[in-house]
Chains A and B, each alone.
Chain A
Amino acid sequence: AQSVSQHNHHVILSEAASLELGCNYSYGGTVNLFWYVQYPGQHLQLLLKYFSGDPLVKGIKGFEAEFIKSKFSFNLRKPSVQWSDTAEYFCAVSWDYGGATNKLIFGTGTLLAVQP
């Protein structure tokens, strides 16, 4: 079955530290890859996405992610976190079979706490 794994469930960092959150998905095929973020009290919102082309994707707020097809991975990175990055981060994958459905398969989420 299709699945998405996020390796870090809770991460605590100090401001200015670098961040890398791991995400792997179960098997290949044509995939669309996403990172969503949910700040405290807010909606889920898209941080960045990979559809095709350059495997290094840049998103909002200085985040980036790299798609490594051979490793079925899409890790999220930020060189220097801020207190305002405290949130829950979700990796999501949509497998493209040429149909009209683009349901998202989510990982379990990573709670990031950034200490000032």
Chain B
Amino acid sequence: EAGVTQFPSHSVIEKGQTVTLRCDPISGHDNLYWYRRVMGKEIKFLLHFVKESKQDESGMPNNRFLAERTGGTYSTLKVQPAELEDSGVYFCASSQDPREKTSYNEQFFGPGTRLTVL
């Protein structure tokens, strides 16, 4: 079974440019999460989709970030315009149904996209 995939693996852009990151969750996983790790800091939650709906976007830093999940399959995270402080590793994770209380559904992580804004 294929795991969570992310594209690109690395992106180097200049300040003010736009970048779009893509995440393909494990097939059948309704829940998709975006996280970010800025160098030297902890991995921080950005947002959570349940199918195509945004369940929780409390972690999105500002309105330069736009996440979509049309059709409830893959998701994109666009940063426009990018700023220096957006540099970091962006992780995507997916899970089945966290509302199932008899067992906790593990979040499976992708390899991350390393974004460098110059």
Contacts and interface: CB of A to CB of B under 8 A. Distances in A.
A42 to B, nearest CB: 8
A68 B36 CA distance: 29
Interface residues of B, number: 29
Given A43-B111, A44-B91, A45-B109, A101 B48 contact: yes
B95 interface: yes
Chain B binding surface, main DSSP class: loop
Given A43-B3, A51-B104, A100-B50, A109 B42 contact: yes
Contacts of A82: none
A44 B56 CA distance: 22
A46 B111 contact: no
A26 to B, nearest CB: 13
Contacts of B110: 43
Contacts of A102: 31, 95, 98, 104-105, 107
Interface size class of A (residues with CB under 8 A): 20 to 34
Interface in B1-45: 3-4, 31, 33, 35, 40-45
A103 B33 contact: yes
B106 to A, nearest CB: 5
A108 B40 CA distance: 8
A105 interface: yes
Contacts of B81: none
A51 B43 CA distance: 21
B111 to A, nearest CB: 5
Interface of A: 4, 32, 36, 42-46, 49, 51, 90, 92, 100-109
Given A101-B98, A102-B104, A102-B107, 8 more contacts: A43-B109, A43-B112, A44-B109, A45-B109, A100-B50, A103-B56, A103-B59, A104-B33
